Structure 1
Amino acid sequence: MKLSLFKALGIIDCCIFKRIDDQHFETVYAESEWIDLLLPSARDNKRFTIPTDSPFLDDFLMQAEEFWEYADYGKIDSGVWNEEVENNELKLNAYASMDKGDCYIVVHNVIEQFQQRQKTLQLARELLLSNDKIVAQQEYVHQRLDDMLNQSSDLKSIQQPINEVIEKTDIGVAILSPNLQPISQNPALYSLFDAHLTRSETQPYKIILQLFEKQYPEFERVISTGSRWSGELFWLKPPGTGKWIKLSIYPVKADFQQITHWVFLVSDISQVKHLLQNNEKLTYYDALTDIPNRQYFWMQLEQSVSNALPFYVLYLDIKNFKRINEIHGHSRGDQIIKELVERITPHISEGDMFARIGGGEFAIIRQKTVTEQQCIDLGHKLIDAAVQPFYLPNGTHCEIGLNIGAASFPRDADDAETLMKFADLAVFNAKKASKSSVQFYSQELKEASQRIIELENALQSAITNHEFELFLQPMLDLTSGTILKAEALLRWNRLDGERIGPDEFIPIAEQTGLIVPIGKWVISRACEMISTLNHRGYSCKLSVNLSPRQISDRHLLEFIRGSIQNSHILPNQLELELTEGVLVDNYDKVQYLLTEVRKLGVSVSIDDFGTGYSSLSYLKKLPIDHIKIDRSFVQDLVSDENDKAIILAIIAMAHSLKLNVIAEGVETELQRNFLQLNHCNLAQGYLFSRPLPFAQFCDYLSASPTQKLITPSAPFPE
């Protein structure tokens, strides 16, 4: 082999040896002094003999012998290894090669390249940290704008403070109308795209929308559903200048979740991306997890489509990952991401691709011929791996979930963009379930998603159109038979005559945030009903349900206070019901809210008790008056000894904590007798009454022989 060939290959700082026999090597080239540390005789004696003093080199030479015996051409690579010789550190890499029947070993000291790579990686880490600061800046600007835009529907009245915020920031800001027309674009946004063009000569928001629509299949879904979104765009300006952009999209919504504005926040992250592109591994692999990134994934997806062989795409989304970052911080979130990847990787088959395509999003291309059931089985394995607790350095732990959407090529789509759009739609639908799930794209799914979007739009006008109605289901004292209170249950009667069940519309309202204004309507209407009952002479408390979203509404307490005052009722005539899950997920907020409403005189009940959370400590700490035994325990209590034991334990525990017990779903005399015999305080269910419209409920009260009558109550004390 000619030395010029090595030089042509760029292998300069190396030592080259020719094989004489299986134990002896002749020095061809050895000018570098570091070889004296590894092979002392190589430069002076022009040869070396094995075994050497380096077990790593000896091991590779054994592999080389096998390669030379069976191969006619090519080379094999040892990979990089460390040598500590006389307090000197070497990072070495060896090749075994052949040239016209002669066998060669090339040993290369890669310490400088390694140090340069480490420097590059460190710069990348620093720039990525800088990128985190950009994200934090964007979030800060978003929160300020969101607060301002929510203060007034009249944009002119707040134009000046908005301008003060966006004119001074170095983040590009575009405020758009609901139909994506420009309202305001700040100087930083124009500078980001072209500092030399005047405002009349370019419209940055148009460029952003075009890039987003072209580069991301979820564009249509984000805009149609009014979702938040964050990602990276690449802008190529003729004749060839490229720029990487960090884009965050925030919809600003009114009480009934109508979009009033779109806020686009844009930052230049070209420096980060250009550094990553200088290192091939950083270009195609995620810096945090070391698995393929979005860019590499799309390359592979396009290649898989061009191969025209059937395959599946699985789109993985971590449940509530944004909330994890907010509670535990981004560094803890990064740790969870890394550990999750370590858990998932062993389940990925050889030949499949597993990539990180977003902050808390991953994708898998299943290259081999597999069935839909095998994809489902894999999805469940990944979910099982994800739901195990993640332990943090401070001793605490947190739990996450995993939603998975899947689409099939070519059954569902025959191009990469549409395929990912359908997988995105599937995972978006999977998110609507309370538990982690695997959802495959189908025509039925598309129709169901369209139904959800249609119901969401209809919900926004349901209150103003007077389409909601409260039904009341009585709760009776099991000793006296007196109706002490009733649960207010929401019903939706659309103007077209269709009746939508709460099981269908409540989850939509919860996910979209519409539950907040709807919940306020329920509280207000319940207070009006109490006032009417008072004036008719009936003593009956009404209980309304609070959702997790309502608990997070900082205006809820004041609204409850105002509704009681406006209806001129006593606070103790209103009761709030919360589920166990709300106690666990929002403990701090729940503790504050319940403490304050109890100061008003409003009572509190815990619904669906015993259905999945261990909440005994919360019952002891929180100001609670009643717990409701879930109907699932009552249903089979006569025939199931376990349900009997659970009910008896709940009653005993509640009474020891001086709490009243209410049983739900009582349908038979045997159930009532068992509950009454064992000192359950109240019960509700079909045995007594189904949920009734208000007028029928009043008739039910008047027909009850044991119902107490009262004089009209005094107004809420000032």
Structure 2
Amino acid sequence: MDASLLTALGLLDCVVFRRLSSAKFEVLYRAGNWLDELLPEIVDTKVFCFAQNSAYLEDFLIDAENLWQANKNGRIESGLWSEQLSTQLVRLEASAVVANKQNYLIVSKLEAKYRQKQQTLQIARELLLSSDKISAQHDYLHSRLEELLSQPNRTLTAQQPIAQALTQTDLAVAILDADLHLLNSNPALRTLFDDTNIKIGLPPDKLLLELFRTQYPECERIFSTASSWTGEIYWLNPPQQGKWLKLSIHPIKNDEQRVQNWLFSVSDVTQVKYLLKRNEKLTHFDALTNLPNRQYFWQQLESKIQQNRPFYLLYIDIKQFKRINELHGHVVGDEVIKDLSKRLNAITHVDDMIARIGGTEFAVIMQLNHLHTHISSQDQNQCIKFAEELIRVSCLPFYLSSGLKCEVGLNVGATAFPADTNSAEELMKYADLAVYSAKKKAVSSIEFYSKELIDASRKRIDMENSLRSAVENQEFELFLQPMLDLASGKIIKAEALIRWHHPNGYLVPPDEFIPLAEQTGLIIPIGKWVVTEACAILKRLAEKGEEIKLSINLSPRQVNDRQLFEFIKESVTKAQVNPHHLELELTEGVLIDNYDKVYYLLDEVRKLGMSVSIDDFGTGYSSLSYLQKLPIDRLKIDRSFINEINENSQDSDGAIILAVIAMAHSLKLEVIAEGVETVLQRDFLKLNNCNIAQGYLFSRPVPYDEFCDLLEGQKNKN
């Protein structure tokens, strides 16, 4: 065999065999002393049989034999492996080849390739460590400045702690007002753009905004919906090489949940990018997941558009991923993302492309199997099935190396080329709008871009503005639903349920506006209004001589509010009511997701004398350890279990209720049943020692005056 050809192919330090049969091989070319020790059977012979001196090579020959038996031109490789010889450690790679009906085996010594692979892995490790450090800096700065900026009656320019936070951080920081006008910045922001001789025509804050707007189609949505965002932007400043900047944008909101400031934090990651460029693979591929990165994805998206073949663009966002980072840290978060990327990649079709385009975001170009410009219902069904499969694999539990178990979900937004648009920028913008709409749903789902989606988005903005006005104008009222002691039949408690008196004259039920309030953060001021009003009602009841306990609901967003306990304490003190007459209701989900914060809150309120009830008990959480660990007083059985008790029910239908009652009583907890609508249900609960019940059988939620009438009627009966 011509050695010059092998040299040109970079295969000089190798051995080349021709396969004569399943057992026999012929030596065509050999070089290097390492071969004699690794394969002594080829010494002084041309035709031989392998003597099984290398377990790695024997394993590869099994796969190679399948290729050779197929007798079709092709090539497979073993990947790198190491062999410890008496004088040296060698890095080898084997290739099986079929060419012109001839079968070949090549074993190459690839020290340079091994060193390149190790260098690539080291670069990736350095990159991930650097990224984790930078992310931690941004997160800490955001948390610290949000705490300072959210303080009431603060003067931005004069407050010393803010000035100290700005000067002490290595990050470049800009604090803007609600209209994106600069209020304050630190020296690091100015030096970020002043360390070259190039004169820029914009102030640093305006330059950052301009770069963000031009490079990210989702910019408009970020500011209009007051969302947080983190990503990388590129500043080209010829004749310099330009800078890569990691930019984090966070809204800072006041007590009414209106944006009062925007916080920009910036770090120069140019060195990291140049580190990537030392290896072509890391230039275009994400170091953590090994998937194509955002830059490479954009190139492929524009290339697909040039081919003018129809496809769907799917924008994928990991659902509630921030909770994993907060509970377990970035290392566990990275492990989940890496595992998830493997699952998603495994079910992506051969002609499709998947990429990681952000910290928790992926994108898929899903090719359609026709050349028509229109998108049919069959195409959309195909896209839905694919998205559902992506969601299915993402919802399976993640079992981590530390022994932890995590669960996530996916929000998927989809837009179609060329039906929706033929612009790469608009495709990304539309898919981003669609995934933002999907985020509003409690469960993982897919949302398609449509004109109706834009209309719904506008209606949502109108609804949000109306809700803000409702907070400012106090357009709410608390209705009270009686809770009865089943043994005596007397009203002993009431649940406070909010209603919204819309200016157009109709009553808006809570299930229509509470989810929006939760998403926008308006639940914080609304929740404070509920606490204040509940205390006022308790005072009025006490003045009437009514010793009634009032129960109010706390949402997940409220529990995360650092000022919640102090506000409740101040409200009780100001209204001069007995704290024993106030009860807090939390759902199981809040307990699981915010365990540490919940424990602190419940422990403090119970020290004041308040009681605690767990709402919607039994609706999906399997861990019951919190019942023993958390300071709680009552369980409220979800109405879905009560509904099962009817004329057609079997004895087993009440088994869950009986189990809950028995378990609660063994833990010295009282049991409340909600949604009681029939005498049969009441009698079943009473017979089985359920303590308290509420539902339409007794009364719907009613205004304060009507509730007082119910109490008065109860007295008259006695």
Gap change, CA 1:33 and 1:707, over 3 Å in 2: farther
Aligned to 1:698: 708
Cα deviation, residue 470, structure 1:
0.9
1:331-350 C-alpha deviation (Å, 9 max, x unpaired)? 22222222222333332222
Q: Which moved more, 1:509-518 or 1:436-445?
A: 436-445
Check conservation: 2:150, 2:254, Cα contact below 8 A: yes
- Counterpart of 1:547, as a letter, is S
Is the counterpart of residue 649 in structure 1 residue 666 in structure 2? no
Q: Which residue of 677, 682, 687 corresponds with 2:687?
A: 677
Aligned to 1:606: 614
Gap change, CA 1:49 and 1:506, over 3 Å in 2: same
1:654-680 C-alpha deviation (Å, 9 max, x unpaired)? 334333332222223333333333333
Check conservation: 2:157, 2:184, Cα contact below 8 A: no
Cα deviation, residue 415, structure 1:
1.9
Distance in structure 2 (CA, Å) of the matches to 1:659 and 1:502: 29
Cα deviation, residue 389, structure 1:
2.2
Check conservation: 1:41, 1:48, Cα contact below 8 A: no
Q: Which moved more, 1:217-226 or 1:305-314?
A: 305-314
Cα deviation, residue 577, structure 1:
1.3
- Counterpart of 1:463, as a letter, is V
- Counterpart of 1:701, as a letter, is L
Is the counterpart of residue 565 in structure 1 residue 568 in structure 2? no
Check conservation: 2:414, 2:447, Cα contact below 8 A: yes
Gap change, CA 1:20 and 1:449, over 3 Å in 2: closer
Aligned to 1:318: 318
Aligned to 2:375: none
Aligned to 1:714: none
Check conservation: 2:613, 2:633, Cα contact below 8 A: yes
Q: Where does 1:373-388 land on structure 2 (aligned, <5 Å)? A: 373-388=381-396
Cα deviation, residue 191, structure 1:
2.3
Q: Which residue of 649, 653, 661 corresponds with 1:640?
A: 649
Check conservation: 1:230, 1:248, Cα contact below 8 A: yes
- Identical columns (%): 52
TM-score (norm 2): 0.87
Gap change, CA 1:162 and 1:197, over 3 Å in 2: farther
Give the 3-state SS of the residue equivalent to 2:242 in structure 1. Answer: strand
Distance in structure 2 (CA, Å) of the matches to 1:271 and 1:680: 66
Gap change, CA 1:574 and 1:99, over 3 Å in 2: closer
Q: Which residue of 599, 623, 630 corresponds with 1:622?
A: 630
Is the counterpart of residue 278 in structure 1 residue 286 in structure 2? no
- Counterpart of 2:204, as a letter, is P
Distance in structure 2 (CA, Å) of the matches to 1:452 and 1:256: 18
Give the 3-state SS of the residue equivalent to 1:241 in structure 2. Answer: coil
Aligned to 2:542: 534
Aligned to 2:434: 426
Cα deviation, residue 257, structure 1:
1.3
Cα deviation, residue 371, structure 1:
2.5
Cα deviation, residue 488, structure 1:
0.6
Cα deviation, residue 98, structure 1:
13
- Counterpart of 1:398, as a letter, is C
Is the counterpart of residue 206 in structure 1 residue 212 in structure 2? no
Cα deviation, residue 550, structure 1:
1.7
Distance in structure 2 (CA, Å) of the matches to 1:571 and 1:271: 58
Gap change, CA 1:98 and 1:632, over 3 Å in 2: closer
Aligned to 1:711: none
Give the 3-state SS of the residue equivalent to 1:613 in structure 2. Answer: coil
5+ residue gaps, structure 2, are 370-377
TM-score (norm 1): 0.87
Cα deviation, residue 527, structure 1:
0.6
> Cα RMSD (Å) of the superposition?
3.7
5+ residue gaps, structure 1, are 709-718
Aligned to 1:188: 188
Report the number of matched residues: 699
Aligned to 2:246: 246
Gap change, CA 1:611 and 1:79, over 3 Å in 2: closer
Aligned to 1:444: 452
Cα deviation, residue 21, structure 1:
11
Check conservation: 1:145, 1:162, Cα contact below 8 A: yes
Check conservation: 1:637, 1:644, Cα contact below 8 A: yes
- Counterpart of 1:133, as a letter, is K
Q: Which moved more, 1:197-206 or 1:32-41?
A: 32-41
Aligned to 1:556: 564
Aligned to 2:231: 231
Q: Where does 1:274-673 land on structure 2 (aligned, <5 Å)? A: 274-369=274-369, 371-614=379-622, 616-638=624-646, 639-641=648-650, 642-673=652-683
Check conservation: 2:41, 2:48, Cα contact below 8 A: no
Gap change, CA 1:109 and 1:340, over 3 Å in 2: same
Give the 3-state SS of the residue equivalent to 1:377 in structure 2. Answer: helix
- Counterpart of 1:461, as a letter, is S
Aligned to 2:374: none
Give the 3-state SS of the residue equivalent to 2:473 in structure 1. Answer: coil
Q: Which moved more, 1:292-301 or 1:147-156?
A: 147-156
Distance in structure 2 (CA, Å) of the matches to 1:94 and 1:579: 59
Gap change, CA 1:645 and 1:198, over 3 Å in 2: same
Gap change, CA 1:126 and 1:567, over 3 Å in 2: same
Give the 3-state SS of the residue equivalent to 1:158 in structure 2. Answer: coil
Cα deviation, residue 86, structure 1:
4.1
Gap change, CA 1:616 and 1:236, over 3 Å in 2: closer
Distance in structure 2 (CA, Å) of the matches to 1:621 and 1:12: 66
Gap change, CA 1:601 and 1:166, over 3 Å in 2: closer
